[in-house]
Structure 1
Amino acid sequence: MAAVSPTVRRVPLIAGNWKMNLDHLQAIAFVQKLAWTLKDANHDFSAVEVAVFPPFTDLRSVQTLVAADKLPLAFGGQDVSEHESGAYTGEISAAFLAALESRYVIIGHSERRTLHAETDEQVAGKVAAALKHNIAPIICVGETAEDLETHGASAVPVAQLRAALSRVDSAADFVVAYEPVWAIGSGQAATPEQAEQVAAALRAVIAEVLGDDVAAKTRILYGGSVKSGNIAGFMREPNVDGALVGGASLDVNEFAAIVRYQKHVGL
């Protein structure tokens, strides 16, 4: 495995993927309450970054609120088109997300791969499209229960990441999210040790493809049944730099407790 500089500080990122939940009015109320909750807890956003990923119809409302109230929250899209523009009904381009000041975009989530037959080639195209518009992709990788039994934990995520990085250069800013498919929404998370094993393998791939410096600075998140009661265990692992949170991100107090994993405020 490639050496990673111990002097590099990776700011943890806690990201909430709302999936197809909350309309634009609910989104405004949620973001306001989340900001107030974290402010009341004296959360240091420079120590742990916070991002939310609303449905596309909510993004303008969230952008307006964040800008008007100068909230220290990042936000982004749950998916993006690999195409710049044209006759692609229902698609949203990276240019559109950039116009809304999206800092991040989720790409390659297992629900996209499974429900929409999204391929590694499409994921690579979406990553390239996001980077073209200075949006940091959160590249999702993960194995199914069948993959785990047949190939072990690392093989499929490593192959997915290698494909996703095929059009990325060493100057790119991106995040990787390891989400074992068997853990998403199941209530049964991977163990911190399992997450660390795969995260270390993913960091080694980044080092191989883009160099040690890129590997050292790239954040790797864990996702899959993350909650306030287990986040601290994952965050103790050296190669886990945050979490991509699903269902628990829809509860303001629970999500805030995950963000505040260092202090477990509210628990």
Structure 2
Amino acid sequence: MICIVNFKSLMCYKKQLQWLHDIEQLPLNFKLLVAPTLPEHNTYQNYEIIAQNISLAQRTVGEMSANVLKALDIRYAFVGHLERRKLLNETTDIIHERLANCLNNDMIPIICLGMHSGPDLVIRELKSILKNIDFMGQRIIVAYESLRSTQSNSSAYSYVEMEAVYLKLNQYLSELVKNSNLASYSLVMGGHITAEGISVARKIGYDGVLIGDRYQEVSAFQPIIEALNQVKKER
């Protein structure tokens, strides 16, 4: 199973470094991807450093370019994270450009969905991001966060909702694999995930979970580790 942890922007930098050090000392039987505020060189032994964002292809300021990320051996980048869309008014067109830049540089995008509730609206949201994209025979990760959970900062999702969205996304992406040059995909569940939420994600069929910056010490993250260690590490 995949676990993606995003430190976002308010977690103390020293705490981030301590977290990265402490987690490396533990046995992990799952694939862990960690997005610190400032990308580190991806040299850790039992997990990967990933990027919270990737710049547009053209010259810009204040964002990480694909060239810099690749120099740090980073292989994954978030595309269209909900905070960027809600707080920075990032449009679908901009997300589309970031996605193209990611794929053009042989990086794996983590496409974030959750601006709308309900499977049909979620699919419409994804289609608008993927419109006319060339997947170049590569893989993508699609992360769905429950809108209700993100708004309330609690595990407010329902099993019925998360399952309905999963089934719709899985059907749509399976068809893309058959009918386009998309190689493969993984579906990840987010929205204030707890150890119990991992069990829900597994039961529905999600390939992993997306977790924010709530667990600022590895000791607090331990229940998540224990729940994930019961799942076979992604091959």
Normalising by the smaller structure, the TM-score range is: 0.7 to 0.9
* Distance change (3 Å), C-alpha of 1:34 and 1:213: farther
Q: Which residue of 2 aligns with 1:106?
A: 78
Q: Which residue of 1 aligns with 2:233?
A: none
Q: Which residue of 1 aligns with 2:195?
A: 228
Equivalent-residue separation in structure 2 for 1:223 and 1:129 (angstroms): 24
The TM-score with structure 1 as length reference comes to 0.77
- Residue type of the partner of 2:51? G
Please report the RMSD computed on the Cα atoms of aligned residues, expressed in angstroms. Answer: 2.4
Identity of aligned residues (%): 23
Q: Which residue of 1 aligns with 2:162?
A: 195
5+ residue gaps, structure 1: 1-11
Whether the 8 Å CA contact 2:3–2:32 is kept in 1: the answer is: yes
Whether the 8 Å CA contact 1:14–1:259 is kept in 2: the answer is: no
Q: What's the CA shift for 1:113?
A: 0.9
Whether the 8 Å CA contact 1:98–1:134 is kept in 2: the answer is: no
Whether the 8 Å CA contact 2:11–2:213 is kept in 1: the answer is: no
Equivalent-residue separation in structure 2 for 1:254 and 1:205 (angstroms): 36
Q: What's the CA shift for 1:251?
A: 3.5
- Residue type of the partner of 1:113? R
Residue 75 in 1 paired to residue 42 in 2? no
Q: What SS does structure 1 have at the residue aligned with 2:214? A: helix
Aligned counterpart in structure 2 of residue 50 of structure 1, from 10, 24, 32: 32
Q: What's the CA shift for 1:170?
A: 5.8
The TM-score with structure 2 as length reference comes to 0.86
Write the deviation string for residues 126-185 of structure 1: whole angstroms up to 9, x where unpaired.
Answer: 1111112221110001134xxx3xxxx112321221122231326121100001222126
Q: What's the CA shift for 1:231?
A: 1.6
Q: What's the CA shift for 1:204?
A: 1.9
Residue 157 in 1 paired to residue 139 in 2? no
Q: What's the CA shift for 1:229?
A: 3.0
Q: What's the CA shift for 1:216?
A: 9.0
After TM superposition, list the pairs within 5 Å mapping 1:201-216 onto structure 2. Answer: 201-211=168-178
Q: Which residue of 2 aligns with 1:175?
A: 141
- Residue type of the partner of 1:137? P
- Residue type of the partner of 2:49? F
Q: What SS does structure 2 have at the residue aligned with 1:255? A: helix
Q: What's the CA shift for 1:79?
A: 1.1
Q: What SS does structure 2 have at the residue aligned with 1:221? A: strand
5+ residue gaps, structure 2: 231-235
* Distance change (3 Å), C-alpha of 1:199 and 1:75: same
Write the deviation string for residues 10-62 of structure 1: whole angstroms up to 9, x where unpaired.
Answer: xx2100011113344332211111122x32xxx32xxx200100112xx23xx
* Distance change (3 Å), C-alpha of 1:13 and 1:169: same
Q: Which residue of 2 aligns with 1:255?
A: 221
After TM superposition, list the pairs within 5 Å mapping 1:137-152 onto structure 2. Answer: 137-144=109-116, 148=117
Q: What SS does structure 1 have at the residue aligned with 2:195? A: coil
Equivalent-residue separation in structure 1 for 2:156 and 2:202 (angstroms): 14
Whether the 8 Å CA contact 1:221–1:242 is kept in 2: the answer is: yes
Corresponding pairs, count: 228
